[in-house]
Amino acid sequence: MIKFTLQRLLQLVPVLLIVITVTFWMSKKAPGGPFSAERKVAPQVMAKMNAYYGLDKPLLQQYLLYLKNLVLRGDLGPSFTYPTESVNQVIARSFPVSLQVGSLAMLLALFIGIPLGVLAAVKKNSLADYFSMSFAMSGICLPTFVMGPILAIVFGLWLKWGNVFGLEKSGNAWLPPIFLPALTLGLFYGAYVARLTRSGMLEILNQDYIRTARAKGVGSFRVIWKHALKGGMMPVVSFLGPALAGLISGSFVVEKVFKLPGLGNEFIKGAFNRDYSLILGTVIFYAVLIVLFNLLVDIIHAWLDPRIRQ
Amino acid sequence: MRLAHVRKLLLTLICLALAAPAMAETKADRAAKDKILLFGNGSEPQNLDPHTVRGVTENHIISALIEGLIAYHPTDQALPEPGMADRWEHNLDASEWTFHIRDGAKWSNGDPVKAADFVFSFHRILSPNLAADYADQLYIMKGAEDFHKGKLTDFDAVGVKALDDQNLRITLVGPTPYFLSALTHYSWYPVHPATILKFGKIDDRVSAWTRPENFVGNGPFKLKEWKVNEVITVERNPLYWDAKTVKLNGIQYYPIEDQNTEERAFRAGDLHITNEVPLDKIPGYRRDNKDLILVDPYLGTYFYRLNVNKPALKDVRVREALNLALDRDSIVENITRGGQLPALGYTPQGMGRYKTPELMSYDPDKARKLLAEAGYPDGKGFPKYEILINTSESHKTVAEAIQQMWKQELGIDIGIRNEEWKVYLDSQTNMKYDITRSGWIGDYMDPVTFLTMWTTGNGNNNTGWSNAEYDSLIKQSFLEADEAKRFALLEKAETILLKNPPFATIYWYTRVYLKSAHVVNWNSLLLDNHNFKYIDLK
């Protein structure tokens, strides 16, 4: 197991190198630069700024310098969007927000998705199945930029239970400020979880060992809870890895709708502002998260399914 | 209890539960009692250093923290409001000015504000290494341009001198009757020298001095907290010279970019003032909540640049025809709907005694005639040009309407090409366009802030347009001290510009935003620069 983990961690190196290289060259290829503005910046001012940030050097040299700083000092470079902060600082301040929202969203997704999925699988082709699956379908079809405002209007404006924006508690809201954004994401991911749980459970419920358990006279709840659920969760677990990486690294849309100071926002801002180091920094961070969570998923898989362990 | 009773009781309970929060006190109500203004400020400021920023967003905060020689007038931005300077005088042709710094003017750390601080500040923004975007605002000062461009290395030769601790002499390149208005721009603001030098050199662009724990200002408020992408809080500065006039205890600036989110925040009672209103919500507010929506004229022009190097657009008759075929009234009434004014000239109205020549009109017959004379009868043979816009729903709607008008009136087919913001800027600067959407916002209350950009080779011209007579009139205006004569020269220049237009004018901007009844002393201002020391909450 340790060897397996180490091997996977080593794979991170080539993956990151490719990600950095591709992102670096692609972002530099885009027209416009970090300092272009509607009101023209004088050429000598532009030249000074480029020199200050080392953007006047040949691209290859910039690339190598970036790699060197990253490897030797873990330095992701200065941000142009936030002149008083480095990219490391930008991530350090915005990631905790996205982490909180994302984790809560994931919990909500599981709390909503798994029971619905199990219910749908056990009562296959019944009203409960149709209800759960149409809920799931609408959850998938309703994008977060529609769901977010709906939740904000209903729970924020009408009922005044939660915040319509930001992290400061609004008026008499009693829900934590991150609840509505987390619910927006939770409903969307919960819908996927429900569908995946259903199909996973359906497959397992037809297996021989379930039939054996039933034949032995094990109660229906115990069959599902003790025997089926563990195996039925396999597709959900595979989905959770990348989903969790995506959730905790922040959703641009939800952060925009609820005005949260999270990482998803920085990701998009970096791209729009041609903030090369912010683009690279957030992409690297996301890539590391993806690889780590996929590794975690593999470990959980091995725990859930003895066949993988061998 | 019968079922009907139970149902009634339940219904009453639900109604009460729903109604209770509606009656409760909102954040804005509470903040109004505490005299804290909750201000929707659009986007996150780049920085709070007056010498390196370039946006309106930053200005809203910086103008609360730092005061220049001249401050913002609360009711009419064409008038000077004494700030750090309590009196001033100038020579006959307004090219040499002496400002007296008031007694009791202090920095927020207790140091007195001295004339030398201004010399240091002008030195700083003009330092080539600082690479200040707005350094050219100071080019009206003698020697400033040469110093900024590195042709002059001795700052003593630049036209600013501290005569003593309280008297500052500024020598300008030529007569500048609008100097007091120009001085309200943040590029002329002072910074605290010792603080700047504590956190770096005079020309260090990146410095920690703007962090809340380090910031030293001289304005009515001081920086308390800066939570990036969340909120910036300023609080009353007890050392401000006019602290007794300051009504508010503080301001919280919320950088809410999304207009819909901001409008929801306003409705939820989380904001006193918004930055904008979503376009589709304007008619609703104007109908049902007239007292909440404000439509203020704003010193800006929305127009399309025409690339005069393109074969068909080289012909002035074609450019005139494109202007004549625009029904500007219809655009502002049916599309933008925010009270904008049809731009019948280029310079917006309202700048003191300057009278914008209003030569643009809607005359499709004349337009067709001119186009035919230029060799494109009924649009036949007209090249397939495109309108370049930056990606945005509202720009697209306007472009489509204009496309339709040109098609209908002139028979020409114009395409629309949208580009993401930075790509669009790049295309515009390098003139990789036929027709491009543009906007221009004035920096101070004088027509030159709109007219100098059209001189030959100006960095913001971007159309290839050049007119020797125009250039010479603008140049003459810079040598003229008499206001009436100066404006006559500028009016003549603008007439040339409008008769031979490198653009199609569309509308003059308005600022449309929401304001709650809590806010008092808030006036409509053409530059939208509010002096926060006069604002109050009830």
Q: ipTM for the complex?
A: 0.90
Q: What pLDDT shows up at residue A81?
A: 86
Contact check, Cβ <8 Å, A42/B460 = no
Contact check, Cβ <8 Å, A164/B257 = no
Assess A168–B contact: CB distance below 8 Å, yes or no: yes
- DSSP secondary structure letter of residue B73: -
Assess B23–A contact: CB distance below 8 Å, yes or no: no
Assess A274–B contact: CB distance below 8 Å, yes or no: yes
Q: What pLDDT shows up at residue A39?
A: 74
- Tell me how far apart the alpha carbons of residues A92 and B368 are, in angstroms, rounded to a whole number: 61
Contact check, Cβ <8 Å, B426/A32 = yes
pTM for the complete prediction?
0.91
Q: What pLDDT shows up at residue B226?
A: 95
Q: What pLDDT shows up at residue B7?
A: 61
Q: What pLDDT shows up at residue A14?
A: 92
List the B341-342 sheet strands across, edge first: B341-342, B503-514, B293-306, B435-441, B385-390, B414-419
Contact check, Cβ <8 Å, A157/B268 = yes
Reported as a single tens digit per residue, the pLDDT across B76-125 is 888 999 999 999 999 999 999 999 999 999 999 999 999 999 999 999 99
The first and second tokens of residue B470, run together, are 């125009």
- Tell me how far apart the alpha carbons of residues A42 and A57 are, in angstroms, rounded to a whole number: 20
Per the DSSP assignment, residues forming a β-bridge with A194 are none
What is the arithmetic mean of pLDDT over B40-66? Answer: 93
Residues 95 to 124 of A: which have CB under 8 A from any B CB? none
The first and second tokens of residue A51, run together, are 């020199």
**DSSP 3-state of B273:** strand
DSSP-derived pairing of the beta strands B160-162 and B167-171: antiparallel
**Amino acid (one-letter) located at B460:** N
Give the model's confidence band at B15: pLDDT under 50 very low, under 70 low, under 90 confident, else very high. Answer: low
Q: Is the dihedral angle over the CA atoms B224, A34, A43, B451 positive or is it negative?
A: negative
Give A38-70 as a DSSP string. Answer: SSPPPHHHHHHHHHHTTTTS-HHHHHHHHHHHH
Q: What pLDDT shows up at residue A231?
A: 83
Cα angle for residues A74, A75, A76 (degrees, 5° grid): 115
Which positions in chain B touch A82 (Cβ < 8 Å)? 46, 228
The first and second tokens of residue B440, run together, are 């221009």
Assess A174–B contact: CB distance below 8 Å, yes or no: no
Assess A190–B contact: CB distance below 8 Å, yes or no: no
Of B21, B135, B422, the CB nearest to A159: B21
pLDDT of residue B10 exceeding 80, the answer is no
Which positions in chain A touch B136 (Cβ < 8 Å)? 42
What is the arithmetic mean of pLDDT over B386-413? Answer: 94
Q: What pLDDT shows up at residue B3?
A: 53
Q: What pLDDT shows up at residue B206?
A: 85
Which positions in chain B touch A49 (Cβ < 8 Å)? 131, 205
Which positions in chain A touch B422 (Cβ < 8 Å)? 30-33, 36, 272-274
Chain B: residue whose CA lies nearest to A153: B264
Query: In sequence order, what are the residues at sequence separation of 6 or more whose Cβ sits closer than 8 angstroms to the Cβ of residue A147?
Result: A184, A187, A188
User: What is the nearest CA distance from A219 to chain B, expressed in angstroms?
Assistant: 39
Per DSSP, helices labelled H in B376-481 are: 393-410, 421-429, 448-451, 468-477
Assess A258–B contact: CB distance below 8 Å, yes or no: yes
Which positions in chain A touch B18 (Cβ < 8 Å)? 158-159
- First vs last Cα of chain B: how many Å apart? 49
Q: What pLDDT shows up at residue A148?
A: 95
Which positions in chain A touch B27 (Cβ < 8 Å)? 168, 170-171
Give the model's confidence band at B23: pLDDT under 50 very low, under 70 low, under 90 confident, else very high. Answer: low
Residue tagged 């007569």 (tokens): B175
pLDDT of residue B425 exceeding 70, the answer is yes
pLDDT of residue B13 exceeding 70, the answer is no
Residue tagged 């809410």 (tokens): B256
- The answer to whether B132 and B121 have CB atoms below 8 angstroms apart is no
Number of residues written out for chain A: 310
- Tell me how far apart the alpha carbons of residues B431 and B352 are, in angstroms, rounded to a whole number: 34
* Average pLDDT of the residues of chain B: 93
Over the range A169-200, which residues count as b (16 or more CB within 10 Å of their CB) and which as e? ebbebebebbbbbbbbbbbbbbbbbbbbbbbb
Over the range B71-87, which residues count as b (16 or more CB within 10 Å of their CB) and which as e? bbbbeebbebbbbbbbe
Which positions in chain A touch B425 (Cβ < 8 Å)? 32, 36-38
CA B152 to chain centre: 31
Q: Of B11 and B429, which is predicted with more confidence?
A: B429
DSSP-derived pairing of the beta strands B221-227 and B250-254: unpaired
Give the model's confidence band at B146: pLDDT under 50 very low, under 70 low, under 90 confident, else very high. Answer: very high
Of A44, A94, A170, the CB nearest to B128: A44
**DSSP 3-state of A218:** coil
Cα angle for residues B249, B253, B254 (degrees, 5° grid): 140
- Tell me how far apart the alpha carbons of residues B483 and B179 are, in angstroms, rounded to a whole number: 12
DSSP-derived pairing of the beta strands B96-101 and B160-162: unpaired
H or E element: which one contains B235? strand B231-236
Query: In sequence order, what are the residues at sequence separation of 6 or more whose Cβ sits closer than 8 angstroms to the Cβ of residue B376?
Result: B312, B318, B382, B412
pLDDT of residue B9 exceeding 60, the answer is no
Burial label for B311, CB within 10 Å (0-12, 13-18, 19+), is exposed
B70 phi/psi in degrees, rounded to 5: -115, 135
- A vs B, Cβ pairs < 8 A, gives 150
Contact check, Cβ <8 Å, A165/B135 = no
Contact check, Cβ <8 Å, B230/A274 = no
Of B205, B256, B460, the CB nearest to A165: B256
Give, for all 310 residues of chain A, the pLDDT tens digit. 777 788 878 888 898 999 999 999 999 988 888 888 777 777 878 888 888 888 999 999 999 999 999 999 999 999 988 888 899 999 999 999 999 999 999 999 999 999 999 999 989 899 999 999 998 888 888 999 999 999 999 999 999 999 999 998 887 789 999 999 999 999 999 999 999 999 999 998 888 888 888 888 888 888 888 888 888 888 898 898 889 988 998 889 999 999 999 999 998 889 988 999 999 999 999 999 988 888 888 888 877 777 766 5
Q: Compute how many other C-beta atoms are within 10 angstroms of the C-beta atom of residue B196.
A: 21
Q: What pLDDT shows up at residue B515?
A: 97
What is the arithmetic mean of pLDDT over B407-419? Answer: 95
Q: What pLDDT shows up at residue B78?
A: 86
- Tell me how far apart the alpha carbons of residues B260 and A128 are, in angstroms, rounded to a whole number: 37
**Amino acid (one-letter) located at B487:** F
List the B231-236 sheet strands across, edge first: B36-40, B250-254, B231-236, B221-227
H or E element: which one contains B418? strand B414-419
User: What is the nearest CA distance from B379 to chain A, expressed in angstroms?
Assistant: 32
- Tell me how far apart the alpha carbons of residues A117 and A126 are, in angstroms, rounded to a whole number: 13
Residues 38 to 77 of A: which have CB under 8 A from any B CB? 38-42, 44-46, 48-49, 52
